[in-house]
A and B are shown apart, each in its own frame.
Chain A
């Protein structure tokens, strides 16, 4: 079956622009996670949804980062007024469980802020 998909795969933004990154989880998965992966580093947790509820947003680096999952399926990660340090790969993962086990990752969106 279809896995987790993300779009766009690549995004170039000028500093100060707003961007929106989309995640389509595996159908029926209740849990959805966003991660930020800097070059050469492991993914770092940003936020977690269980259905439409954002239960943990402790990893969001600033108030310029906002995530939503209004209908409990597709999720959008929005970054306002992008800065160069926001350049990274943004990964989405989903799980059929309500804990952090068995996460399936999407291919990521590579964001480059110039």
Chain B
């Protein structure tokens, strides 16, 4: 079936370091991938998206990389800040939005 999974459930980084959060997917038909950030007690917040005809997209301090050959998606956060501490979900759009399990990012000051 369709699924989106994450390699690491938790990630702890030092403030100022770069963070990389990974995600694997199994549905080859997906054409749109999204990263969400979810802080405690809040709903998911859109960070960045990428279409399947792209392999890289950059935003403000964030970069998403898509490797369709190995069905792998990653989110890179530059100069991680304490405010980046949250759970990050990858998701793909295949008619409906399908989320992965999530990675908890903890930023140490």
Binding site for B on A (CB under 8 A): 4, 33, 40-45, 48, 56, 59, 91, 93, 100-108
B71-109: which residues lie under 8 A (CB-CB) from chain A? Answer: 89, 91, 93, 95-102
Q: A40-B102, A101-B32 are in contact. Are A45 and B97 (CB under 8 A)?
A: yes
* Chain B residue at smallest Cβ distance from A4: B43
Residues of B29-67 whose CB lies within 8 A of A: 32, 41-46
Are B43 and A91 interface neighbours, CB within 8 A?
yes
On chain A, the residues within 8 Å of B101 by CB distance are: 40-42
Judge whether A45 and B98 touch: CB under 8 Å. yes
Closest chain B residue, CB of each to CB of A42: B99
16 further contact pairs, Cβ within 8 A, besides A42-B91, A43-B44, A91-B43: A4-B43, A40-B101, A40-B102, A42-B4, A42-B100, A43-B89, A48-B96, A56-B96, A91-B44, A100-B97, A102-B46, A103-B46, A105-B43, A105-B44, A105-B45, A107-B43
